[in-house]
Amino acid sequence: MASQKVAFITGGNKGLGLETARQLGKQGIKVVIGSRDLARGKAAVEKLKADGVDAEVIPFDITKAADYKEAYRYFDKNYGRLDILINNAGISKENFQGGNKTSVTSAEVLHETFDTNFFGAIQITQTLLPLIRKSPAGRIVNLSSILGSLALHADPKSPIYDAKAFAYDASKSALNAFTVHLAHELRDTKIKVNSAHPGWVKTDMGGEQAPLDIVTGAKTSVQLATLPDSGPTGAYIHLDQTLPW
């Protein structure tokens, strides 16, 4: 139906993306997940539907430019707009427990990390922005991390001071810059752009030692995706708490 909000979640077939889809769907939002592996994406959609969520999947690889155009065509043809974009797809090629290896971080690891976590997020956002502008209240959520905070990385007293994975951290700092700049450009529109830190979550990337479950980890993205008109834009948030850039 025309009044139903439509959300697109990249990397939505598992982990935080899938749980974010579930929580948004429970609020009556139509969720479309982007999945590199279509078979896995279809399996995820069946799980969502079994949970009462109105869900679909489209093939989407954040590193393939052709998939951006196909995503645009899909939303334009089927809905004529996009209400919520959650840039959830992300990778890490580093060992977070391996100590600071900045001096030997390879160009290959930097490029691969930035292609997904930074350039891909920018390109899909720019591609879909004309459709988000057609929403009565567009919301863009960039999945960042507290590890993108330069202020906390520079503070010897901060909890992340010794947690330095250069390529991943820098990609999230760059993504935060995109949030700030795009929010400024769109400040006189109804669109809100924010960075979300989900927390250290029990996912494939976070590992079993992480303190937060996936349900809690998805909450920040869901909150930012469903902000009221009075909500923030250009902010860096974890569970209603503002983080230092």
State if pTM tops 0.75: yes
Residues 59/38, Cβ–Cβ less than 8 Å: yes
Structural tokens at position 110: 């930097």
Token pair recorded at residue 101: 């290896």
pLDDT at 164: 95
Instruction: Note the pLDDT tens digit of each residue in 118-168.
Output: 999 999 999 999 999 999 999 999 999 999 999 999 999 999 999 999 999
1-5, 31-35, 63-67, 240-244: lowest mean pLDDT where? 1-5
In this structure, are residues 142 and 182 in contact, taking their beta carbons and an 8 Å threshold? no
| Domain annotation for the chain: domains and CATH numbers | 6-242 (3.40.50.720)
